[in-house]
Chains A and B, each alone.
Chain A
Amino acid sequence: MTGLSFLVLLLTGMPVAFVLIGATLVFVFLSGREQLIAAIPQISFGSVENFDLLAIPLFILLGEIMNESGLTRRIITSVRVWIARLPHNLVIVNLISNLALAAIMGSATAQMAVMSRVVVPEMERDGYDRGYAASLTASAGLLGPIIPPSMLLIIYGVIAQVSIAEMFMAGIVPGIALFVLILVLAFWQATRNHKQQGSTERLNFAQKIAATIPGLAAMLIPLVIVGGISFGVFTPTESAAAAIVVALVFAVLEFKGQTFRRIVPIIDRTVANSAIVLFLIVAAKIFGWVLTFNQVPQHVAAFIVSLTDNPTIFLLLIVVFLFIVGMFLDGIAALIILTPILLPVAISQYGIDPIQFGLILAMTLVLGLLTPPVGTGLYIAAALSKVSVMRLSKLVLPYVAATLAVILAVVFIPWMVHPF
């Protein structure tokens, strides 16, 4: 009945977080255990009272400051001046800029929105098909939740009680593998379908240096984040706060005396975006509590164990299952609901490393951003690039396949998540 009420409420278009709370209340009332409602406030408060979760609004704030102060555009410009004469340089610029932004933002949808606005029109001006440019940009956005910092990996780390710094490090090799795979695929498509041959504009060395310095300064930010965490200087949350300070220095110079007027909307957007994620965490925690009360994890464990006792086959089944779930449910909500159910099975029944499992979970769920019918990333890229969702969902298919290939590599080569 809880499942049915969940489905009915979901189909009414009710916000997902309230769907989860509604399904919980339906269970409580139908089971005649109204006294359980008394536990909800405490569960809600406790679900977000976590220092590590502070990294979420902080990384969102950092991304907003980067965009508003033009730092994102500077990174793109500084990459472009050095490879302007190469064929299909904008394909490389698109991917390298996405890689750099992935090391700053931690949110795929934010990254897709920024890049769709900035790079897609430039690629179109250079003669690329708009659909191709939009599909490449949306797909490269998948690097966001894999390359550290990643919102999904932070949430998984908190739920699974594994080190977030270790989760971040685990994302580096699969993220770079995905970057290389998308680059090869995009270049092959560009060579086959487009005549673009690079800019004819010549810049001398001094001009190139002048254009690069602002971008290099902006690149200090990912350095602070990744370097700070890997050398143990900062926790992930502290690294975000330190990066905000660096970004603010540039922003204050850029805003020229209008800092307060321009910072307020940045904070408001941060609050708006954080609300969606944080309330989903609260609601999913409440719903997860009902699932645990119903002994759903035990039933799921018994069911999966009856299917296979092979860890690799278990992981492949999980990939298929999550791929389907990701098509219909927001990745963050799915991660919060499913991790407490699947992780104990993975560890106790199959002896799977929680870091490897977390990365597989996050990477597979993130694919849901590009798959209909609920692919948020797809809708964002389609709306901002003015390409139909249907066309875009076909164009991203090769990149979805590339991401699946990397997920399979993580399944078969656990070393990829522990390279250091």
Chain B
Amino acid sequence: MNPLGKISAGLVQLERWASRFLVVGFVGLIVANVGMRYLVGRPIIFAEELAAIMLVWLAFIATSISIHTRAQIGVTLLIDNFSVSWRRIIDLLVWLLITIMLAILLKAGITWVRSPVVEFEQVITTGWAKAPFFTIFPIFCASALVHSLAHVARAAGEIRGKNA
């Protein structure tokens, strides 16, 4: 495995644990809210808003994992009919394009979380500043970028291996 592949594999372990905590966290929060509403008569007022933010975090972390595992679905109808050599070249091109997209989004994400606009946003039910929650977007872009770079290295290695 190339060094980028090793970093990507290590990072995905961290992401898997984060995703597990998030799933357990929002299931627990929703169940606790329902329980409090019917058993104690006092719902947890911030439960829905916090659970929705946890979903955003899960969505991005899960997506990053799916980039590592190449689980996102694509239409491979055409390229399935190509020869192995061409499929490898297209695979490399696709991962290069995805890497460029993620790099653009990472730059936009960093600019966004550092902009004064987000400073005034709050979690309505708790009054907490929302800015720290927004950091998931650049975090996602950065981790997904590592995974996609690992795929670029792998795809390039496969082409080189074939040519050697």
Chain A positions near chain B (C-beta within 8 angstroms): 9-19, 21-22, 25, 37-38, 40-42, 44-45, 48-51, 53-54, 57-58, 61, 234, 237-238, 241-242, 244-245, 264, 267-268, 270-272, 274-276, 278-279, 281-282, 328, 330, 373-374, 376
Contact = CB atoms under 8 A, between A and B. Distances in A.
A54 B30 contact: yes
B7 interface: no
A264 to B, nearest CB: 7
A271 B19 contact: yes
B104 A45 contact: no
- Interface residues of chain A: helix, strand, loop or mixed (majority): helix
Interface string B99-119: 001001100110111000000
Contacts of B97: 9, 14, 18, 22
Contact of B72 (A264, A267, A275): A275
Contacts of A281: 59
Given A51-B48, A58-B27, A278-B59, A14 B65 contact: no
A57 B24 CA distance: 11
A53 B65 CA distance: 20
A275 B79 contact: no
Contacts of B49: 51
Interface residues of B, number: 52
Interface in B17-60: 19-20, 23-24, 26-27, 30-31, 33-34, 48-49, 51-53, 55-56, 58-59
B31 to A, nearest CB: 5
Nearest to A50: B52
B71 A272 contact: yes
Contact of B26 (A16, A54, A282): A54
B55 A53 contact: yes
Contacts, number: 159
B58 A44 contact: no
Contacts of A17: 63, 72
Contact of B75 (A11, A61, A244, A271): A11
Nearest to A28: B104
Contact of B55 (A13, A57, A267, A279): A57
A214 B33 CA distance: 29
Contacts of A45: 56, 134, 136-137
B10 interface: no
Contacts of A9: 97
17 contacts: A11-B79, A12-B90, A13-B79, A13-B94, A16-B74, A18-B72, A18-B97, A37-B104, A40-B105, A51-B52, A57-B23, A58-B27, A237-B30, A267-B19, A267-B24, A278-B62, A282-B63
B31 A241 contact: yes
B19 to A, nearest CB: 4
Contact of B23 (A48, A237, A267): A267
A223 B34 CA distance: 17
B27 A241 contact: yes
Given A13-B76, A13-B78, A40 B34 contact: no
Contacts of A50: 52, 55
A359 B66 CA distance: 30
Contacts of B76: 13
